[in-house]
Amino acid sequence: MDADADDDSRGTTTPNASGGGVGVASVGTPDPVDGSTDYDPERLCYAGERVVERAPLGAGWAAVTTHRILAYNPTADGQRFEAVDRPNVSDVRVDADGDGQFLGWGLRAAVYGLAGLGGGVALRAMDLQSTLSMDASAGAAPVGSVLAVTDALAAALALLTTVLLVGGVALLVGALVLLGRYLRTRKPALVVERFGDDPVRLSAPQGDGERAARALSTALERADGTRPASR
């Protein structure tokens, strides 16, 4: 009898949201139902959580619940589902800024590449290694160890010129690749800004993203919301 009671209690106990628990049947990750990829935000709510606003987002949706912001787009590049706790949300907007890291790396690589290529071209134009060799071979030039030093300097300058030219070209090619990656990330996206953390981005059509951002912001700023307006 006691064993049956223990089994029943394990199978039926579902803490509610007011107690801080999460129901066993309410998991915040989308799982297929009958092979479908069209998830409903109500299915992704915790126990005691309810949807207060929903807006279309491409082939998916974005929603504000009593606890979180949920966004799902099955056609998005990368992660298709995002969830952010409402107290951590600072703003909701749509933009097409792209990944700033690729832009920063690309610009730095371009600057270093141009500097290296410019230095290599300048050294080649000055032809210092040839000047050192001619001075060393002139009749009045010192011989012996001094000649060996000038030859070494000429070889070092030739190597430095080659390194600057090759390195500059390689950096410029890398800059083009990075800037190309940045341009590929410049797609409209719904952006959820978070306090103390990187923003969450979910790609979406521009029109849907703007409508979703307005709807979610309005829901967050209602009188019954969990945070004041951040305009």
Among 132-146, 186-200, 210-224, name the one with the lowest average pLDDT: 132-146
> Cα 102–203–104 angle (5° rounding)?
10
Q: Is 190 helix (H, G, I), strand (E, B) or coil?
A: strand
Give the pairing type, strands 189-194 and 60-65.
Answer: unpaired
Name the H helices within 72-144: 100-126, 128-137
Categorize the per-residue pLDDT at 163 as very low, low, confident or very high, splitting at 50, 70 and 90.
very high
How much is the mean pLDDT over the chain? 75
**In whole angstroms, what is the distance from residue 10 CA to residue 16 CA?**
15
The whole-number average pLDDT for the span 160-165 is: 91
pLDDT in tens, 192-211: 889 988 888 887 788 888 88
Q: 84: Cβ–Cβ under 8 A, 6 or more apart, which residues?
A: 68, 69, 192, 194, 200
Dihedral sign from CA coordinates of 206, 100, 30, 88? negative
Residue tagged 């040839």 (tokens): 130
Bigger pLDDT: 215 vs 33 = 215
Can you give the pLDDT at residue 166? Answer: 94
Phi, psi of 63 (to 5 degrees): -145, 150
- Whole-structure pTM value: 0.50
pLDDT exceeds 80 at position 46:
yes
Summarize the confidence of residues 160-187 as an average pLDDT.
Answer: 91
- Judging by DSSP bridges, how do beta strands 81-85 and 51-57 pair with one another? unpaired
Q: Find all residues with CB under 8 Å of 86, minimum gap 6, and list them.
A: 64, 65, 66, 67, 68, 69, 220, 225, 226, 227
pLDDT of residue 185: 77
Rounded to whole angstroms, the Cα distance separating 183 from 177 reads: 10
Predicted pLDDT of residue 129? 66
Highest mean pLDDT among 20-29, 108-117, 123-132, 144-153: 108-117
Predicted pLDDT at 225: 45
Confidence category of residue 191, pLDDT binned at 50, 70, 90: confident
Q: What is residue 23's predicted lDDT score, i.e. its pLDDT?
A: 37
Q: For residues 80 and 171, which has the higher predicted lDDT (pLDDT)?
A: 171
Indicate the pLDDT class of residue 126, thresholds 50, 70 and 90.
confident
